[in-house]
Chains A and B, each alone.
Chain A
């Protein structure tokens, strides 16, 4: 296992499979009365979140606690960052307290990569800007595998705000690592610049037309809706929310069309959902939706990641 988890590309197929296997053992722990393992006793984990988060931060914290690590949460508000301390000074201060892992969320792409060069602790990327969110991709793969088995040859469609989505970037990598076929769909304005050469190199398909993909010959096994990230947009990506929904939302008719072709198709969303914008309430609440499974998988997967990165002997970086 690598020392840090910055990008989904840090993990090869064997490592991803080991983590997912471990996660399924950890899932059993979640159902027990005593949810505590002594595995990371004496380890200190800092959750350093420079950006808001509900599920990622709480699940990393609980995962650490269930494995007996001491976990501490820091957020930009309320830390010295608000007094103007630089990222480098902040993380080096934390590092000087001999912590074992830094779990970092930051609004700048590449922040975790930089931090990894400044500290001795393991660095786990919990989302950096519009770059990557590797544990989200792992938990998505775990949730999918627990429903439809091996992902080899399965067709996953990722729809929405690709430009601003770190979830999409990590998911494409992990899904390809596990042998799935991926199609990404977005309006031209939300399709990242230069995706043509990337998709050609990594072997995934792109489209501007959601209906065409849902009705195409290659029937989707799962559709992952991405959140429209208004906080990262400065207007001009689509005329009105209504128009976005008409073109790219998982509306009731689209859900019906999808399930008519594949009754076992699954609907995913990394959350938080903008109901009525990228996903309709019907789709979010339907039997096909595995949105809440994704959340509970998050805990098991993060326990597995912490175990493999922190429990074993020291790896030289």
Chain B
């Protein structure tokens, strides 16, 4: 089975120096801005939107998206939370246990809201499957959408993203590394390394 693509390496892990940059800090910022506009266009405004990031880097992306959305719409800050999927993974028996991270649901809840799940990399789709299960235990959103910074392909489940920062064709042997200012303390970057 392929490596599951949740949570990724811990904060501040060094990037592979042999890799190449596929998204610079400016490109990431533009990608997020475009995603924000797409969300608003699709939703016809910011009403009922709730952003839930998948730890760890998805949370920072969700927070940034919320700021951009509020700025574009000129409305109050949008509700942002985090949705941990550790307890819902389908590969728990195949690796040592890891500590679950925090699930934080905004005060407004998720019932009858338009929930946008936010993650950094979409790969096998298993993380999102787990996130949908986790979300179902927390309430019943009116709709759930998925926004990712990078879609690297190789889905193993019938799942697709509604909003994608960049489609990145990769091979299984390559690694996609996302680093974010707040989470990793370095300049935003998406790099790709390994492969043949």
Contacts and interface: CB of A to CB of B under 8 A. Distances in A.
A39 B88 contact: yes
A314 B95 CA distance: 9
Interface stretch (B17-25, B96-104, B149-157): B96-104
Contact of A311 (B84, B93, B137, B138): B93
Nearest to A34: B137
A25 B97 contact: no
Nearest to A1: B97
B contacts with A: majority SS: loop
A32 B138 contact: yes
A311 B97 contact: yes
Nearest to A28: B103
Most buried by A among B88, B97, B101: B97
B130 to A, nearest CB: 9
Nearest to A68: B87
B88 A25 contact: no
A307 B95 contact: no
A18 B100 CA distance: 9
A21 B99 contact: yes
B137 A22 contact: no
Interface string B77-106: 000000010011000111111011111000
Contacts of A239: none
Contacts of B99: 18, 21-22, 25
Contact of B87 (A34, A37, A313): A37
B92 A25 contact: no
Interface residues of B, number: 18
A208 B76 CA distance: 62
Nearest to B90: A38
Given A36-B137, A37-B88, A307-B87, A25 B93 contact: no
B56 to A, nearest CB: 14
Interface string A216-252: 0000000000000000000000000000000000000
Contacts of B101: 25
Contact of A39 (B87, B102, B103, B139): B87
A312 interface: yes
B133 interface: yes
A308 B93 CA distance: 11
Interface string A16-46: 0010011001101000111011110000000
Contact of A32 (B87, B88, B133, B137): B137
A39 B92 contact: yes
Q: Chain A, interface size: which category?
A: 20 to 34
A313 B92 CA distance: 7
Nearest to B134: A37
A81 to B, nearest CB: 33
Contacts of A26: 100
Contacts of B138: 32, 34
A25 B102 CA distance: 6
Contacts of A38: 87-88, 133
Contacts of B92: 39, 311-312
B93 A313 contact: yes
A172 to B, nearest CB: 26
Contacts of A307: 87, 97, 100
A73 to B, nearest CB: 24
Interface string A278-317: 0000000000000000000000000000011001111000
A203 to B, nearest CB: 29
Contacts of B139: 33
Interface in B148-179: none
A309 B82 CA distance: 26
Given A21-B99, A312-B96, 12 more contacts: A18-B99, A22-B100, A25-B102, A26-B100, A32-B138, A34-B137, A37-B87, A38-B87, A39-B92, A307-B100, A308-B97, A314-B93
Interface of B: 84, 87-88, 92-97, 99-103, 133, 137-139
30 contacts: A1-B96, A1-B97, A22-B100, A25-B84, A25-B101, A25-B102, A25-B103, A26-B100, A28-B102, A28-B103, A32-B138, A33-B139, A34-B138, A37-B87, A37-B88, A37-B137, A38-B88, A38-B133, A39-B92, A307-B87, A307-B97, A307-B100, A308-B97, A311-B92, A311-B93, A312-B92, A312-B95, A312-B97, A313-B95, A314-B93
